[in-house]
Chains A and B, each alone.
Chain A
Amino acid sequence: MYELNYKKAKSIDEATKAVGASGDNKFLAGGMTLIPTLKQRLAKLKDVVDLSGIPDLVGIKVDGKTVTIGAMTPHAQVAASPDVKKAIPALAKLAGGIGDPQVRNRGTIGGSISNNDPAADYPSAILGLGATVHTNKRAIKGDEFFKGMFETALQQGEMVTKVEFPVPEKASYMKFPNPASRYAIVGVFVSKTGNNVRVAVTGAGPVVFRQGEMEKALSSNFTPAAIEKIAHKADGLNADIHASAEYRAHLVGVMAKRAVAEANG
């Protein structure tokens, strides 16, 4: 790791001032991606500004219609929350499948979506549930948040403060994890509220995306059979040592069908 200065902020205001307009400084959430990135010298920073001392950023709030998760809430808390399990069990399941227990004790939803790893789990829930991402400056629709590989709508110095998920009628998340890292080779999040169906795919492409053809088919018939014949195209999908683009394309269909089956209970 290159040399850096560690700073700890006590408030959102203090943190955004400390990071400022310079790209040389970054917010430090759980650090589960940032610290390994720094260790590999893939990034060089002047200051890291730790957000763990800001109580406003932590917590889970559930009312009848929404589940709101503070940006610095670790995955383990979301996974274990009886309120989340009751309101959106798919979200608790997703959080409980990220990395491993030690990672889940540190990693946060705000860090995960701000980093926007193409194989991260949470982006699929943001898109798959139509969540709203709140920052210190504005509210961003989930559909407009993820821009490209490791790229989001966030500007320098802008910080995710909380994520608001609408409670769906039904939802499920299914992933085919990389057996070593537990990142999604392909993960599919489906949700249904009335005739509004969302199918969000992570791990398969450079950035999380919605599968419109499947959404359309499922909106009139929410069963695995409805998407049986939809073959996702391999064009533009990721290919690496873990899986070819064709294999990932196939997994999109398999995981989507399994997710619909689970959502239907």
Chain B
Amino acid sequence: MPTVSMTVNGKKTSAEVEGRTLLVQYLREKLGLTGTHVGCDTSQCGACTVHINGLPIKSCTILAQQCEGQNVLTIEGLAKDGKLHPMQEAFRENHALQCGFCTPGMVMASIGIVDRHRKDSLDEKTVRHELEGNLCRCTGYHNIVKAILAAYPVMKG
């Protein structure tokens, strides 16, 4: 079996995989990073969203071997020294979750939204449009949108 290596949350990782192994399987099954969820498994729901080289992508729709040598960031890599990332803090503060299943993907996608608008501004309409790739089955979008708008000025600094 081929071996794949990539940096995950700042640490070098490596494991044997099959050609068909998906990134999300590599993260969950080989590295034990189960914060990244598999929801629909058909690239619709976004629960599996992680960042590759700073860009949010759906880890259920990319082969592990496509990520060779890349820099992957998962929900486990956000908090630093016991302190939540500003986006996580905003989700907590605004009660932007109910069951929590979609939350890791929502947080990773939300950071992507803020990153894309660091140089301009961010309004509710844009947030809602750019959240299209993430589904919440508790229909908790309202507070998620509030959380992203709250985290925006904090992250922008």
Contact = CB atoms under 8 A, between A and B. Distances in A.
Interface stretch (B50-58, B80-88, B90-98, B142-150): B50-58
Nearest to B65: A6
Given A6-B65, A106-B62, A181 B44 contact: yes
Contacts of B22: 35
A103 interface: yes
Interface in B1-53: 2, 18-20, 22, 41-44, 46, 49
A101 B19 contact: no
Interface string A29-56: 0011001101110000000101010000
Given A100-B132, A101-B109, A50 B61 contact: no
Contacts of A39: 41-42
Contact of B66 (A5, A38, A50, A80): A50
Contacts of B20: 1-4, 38
Nearest to B58: A102
Contacts of B133: 99-103
Max chain B Cβ within 10 angstroms of own Cβ: one of A6, A36, A80, A99? A6
Contacts, number: 77
| Contact count band on A | 20 to 34
B66 A6 contact: yes
B2 A182 contact: no
A8 interface: yes
B76 interface: no
Nearest to A5: B19
A5 B46 CA distance: 26
A195 interface: no
B68 interface: yes
Contacts of B61: 31-32, 35-36, 106
B63 interface: yes
Contacts of A102: 46, 49, 56-58, 109, 112, 133
Contact of B56 (A31, A35, A40, A101): A101
Interface in A152-183: 180-182
Interface in B113-150: 113, 116, 130, 132-134
Contacts of A48: 19, 63
A38 B68 CA distance: 20
A2 B19 CA distance: 10
Question: Which are the 3 A-B pairs with shortest beta-carbon distances?
Answer: A100-B133, A100-B132, A6-B65
Given A5-B19, A102-B112, A105-B55, 19 more contacts: A3-B19, A31-B61, A31-B66, A35-B22, A35-B61, A38-B20, A39-B41, A76-B55, A99-B132, A101-B56, A101-B113, A101-B132, A101-B133, A102-B56, A102-B58, A102-B109, A102-B133, A106-B61, A181-B44
28 contacts: A6-B19, A6-B65, A8-B68, A28-B66, A32-B61, A35-B61, A35-B63, A36-B42, A36-B43, A36-B61, A40-B42, A48-B63, A52-B66, A76-B55, A100-B46, A100-B133, A101-B112, A101-B113, A101-B116, A102-B57, A102-B109, A102-B133, A103-B43, A103-B133, A105-B55, A106-B61, A106-B62, A182-B132
